[in-house]
Structure 1
Amino acid sequence: MISLAREGGYWLAVIDRPEKANSLTPEMLERLCEIAEAAREAKVLVITGTGRVFSAGADLDAARAGLATSPLWERLSGALAAVPGLSICALNGTVAGGAMGMALACDLRIAVPGAKVFYPVMALGFLPQPSDPARLASLVGPARTKMILMAGQKVPVEEARDWGLIDRIVVPEDLLVTARALAEDTLAADPSHAAAIKALIG
């Protein structure tokens, strides 16, 4: 349910459980962690999903069994943030809950029209993963972070782009084409050059 295609330094990870809104089981989350950790060898890592939802976060049954508060979420976002190359979250649809951590930890976020972003931790009684609020606030500011985390707002990607949370909106058929185009300069560069530029940005 998690596939990985490698084409030289270009890695494409796909969440493929569309019948369950790409909700993540412990095994899927572990696999994503392994891919993100191994992506230190990649020049570019793109994460996307199949169907109309990028990911609804934790699988409901798994969440009730403890996945909602698993350290795997923080392990995943930490590994993504540590990728020395360019990481792109290509949102093929709505992103919700713990899956927001993946999007926040990537360098770039592109999305299809009509998708939404939301993180219903207030309603569900969970805390967000430790690094997510700071990453979100660095992109959209503290007030809009509270709009998402405390007011529980489902933010359309068109508005999220205005906030700085989404970098570009493209039609579904161009989503991965756009991701690949954004990757070209990094793919053509020496990995150490890309890593040095990324380190300067912080």
Structure 2
Amino acid sequence: MSVEHGWSGSTARALEVDSAQPVTPSLVQAVHRLCDEAADAVLVLRLGGADEPSGRADLAIDVVGKWEQALRRLERVASATIAVVDGRCAGPALEVLLACDYRIGTPGSRLMLPLAAGEPWPGMVVYRLANQLGVATARQLVLFGAEITGRHAARLNLLDEVTDDPDGALAAQVELAGGVAGTELAIRRRLLLEAQGISFEDALGTHLAACDRVLRRTAAGVTP
């Protein structure tokens, strides 16, 4: 893990996840440490690799559960999360990608589901894909493990932008995200994540409470 500086006063903490890297307790701990050290920093996840993704035949189910908890924490952390993909994004790297707020890829990026025994992994990656893409769009990826290019991923909104200058795009996004109050960002993210699973009536109270927070901060002269 490293600290990155130089973006108009914004600070970002970074973690690299290689597509060929298996899910291990040390990887779970690394994600938790990143969240522990977030503070007001933007979190940058550098994802990818050139090798084939490793299988999961020897993975213990308790480690799977801990990995899913770490991803859920990353998904809800009170900091903006930005993923940068270069090369093949598969295995745990793809799972991390789907938990991030903003996703940058390169023309050579390729996305593929994690595999186990040569078949697509049926973990919460399936849940996230179905929620983010819809069942019809996610079907090819989930059922057959199709690999898609960065350009295709952008058309599906799995990547927010594809560029030949990922570092430049990252710097611009870190500067933009650094001006957003972390707690307020986390609240809006949670409202998005819950939107498809609850009714309008059940959601109304939570949204009104979030609006009230903004009005109170405005009245008090509090800015991000």
**Which TM class, normalised by the smaller chain length?**
0.7 to 0.9
Give the C-alpha shift of residue 94 in structure 1: 1.1
1:148 matches 2:150:
no
Q: Displacement of 1:55 after TM fit?
A: 8.0
Deviation string 1:7-38 (CA, Å, 9 cap, x unpaired) is 464212224x6xxx642362541343223431
- Residue of structure 2 equivalent to 1:14: 16
Q: 2:176 aligns with which of 163, 171, 185?
A: 185
Note the C-alpha offset of 1:156: 0.9
Give yes or no for the alignment of 1:97 onto 2:91.
yes
Q: Displacement of 1:96 after TM fit?
A: 1.0
Superposed counterparts of 1:9-158, under 5 Å: 9-15=11-17, 22-24=20-22, 26-49=24-47, 53=49, 57=53, 59=54, 63-66=56-59, 70-119=64-113, 121=115, 124-125=118-119, 127-130=121-124, 132-158=125-151
Q: Which amino acid in 2 is paired with 1:48? A: R
CA distances 1:145-189 after superposition (whole Å, capped 9, x unpaired): 121010221111111111111110011xx2122112112122134
Offset at residue 123 of structure 1 (A): 5.9
* CA distance, structure 2, for counterparts of residue 54 and residue 78 of structure 1: 27
Taking the aligned partners of 2:4 and 2:191, their CA distance within structure 1 comes to 27
Whether the 8 Å contact between 1:93 and 1:116 is mirrored in structure 2 is yes
CA contact 1:54–1:91 (8 Å) conserved in 2: no
Taking a change above 3 Å as real, the CA distance of residues 201 and 156 of structure 1, as seen in their structure-2 partners, is same
Q: Aligned in 2, Cα 1:30/1:73: closer, same or farther, shift over 3 Å?
A: closer
Provide the C-alpha distance between the structure 2 equivalents of 1:30 and 1:122, rounded to a whole number of angstroms: 19
| TM-score normalised per structure 2 | 0.70
Structure 2 CA distance for partners of 1:108 and 1:39, relative to 1, 3 Å: farther
Question: Could you say which structure has the larger radius of gyration?
Answer: 2
Structure 1 position 47, deviation (Å): 0.5
| Root-mean-square deviation (Å) | 2.9
Q: What TM-score comes out, normalization by structure 1 length?
A: 0.77
Judged with a 3 Å threshold, the aligned counterparts in structure 2 of structure 1 residues 56 and 32 are, in CA distance, closer, same or farther, namely farther
Give the distance between the partners of 1:54 and 1:39, measured in 2 at CA. 29
**In 2: Cα distance, 1:54 partner to 1:87 partner:** 23
CA contact (8 A) 2:120 2:143 kept: no
Indicate which of 163, 169, 186 corresponds to 1:170.
163
Matched-pair contact (CA < 8 Å) for 1:43–1:186: no
Show structure 2 runs of 5+ residues with no match. 194-224
Deviations along 1:118-138, one digit per CA (max 9) or x if unpaired, are 1154763564323x2222123
Q: Which runs of 5+ in 1 are unaligned?
A: none
Paired with 2:50 and 2:71, the residues of 1 have a C-alpha distance of 16
SS of residue matched to 1:66: coil
The structure-2 alpha-carbon separation of the partners of 1:72 and 1:99, relative to structure 1 and needing over 3 Å to count, comes to farther
1:38-75 CA-to-partner distances (Å, cap 9, x unmatched) read 155243111104xx618865x45xx3432586223312
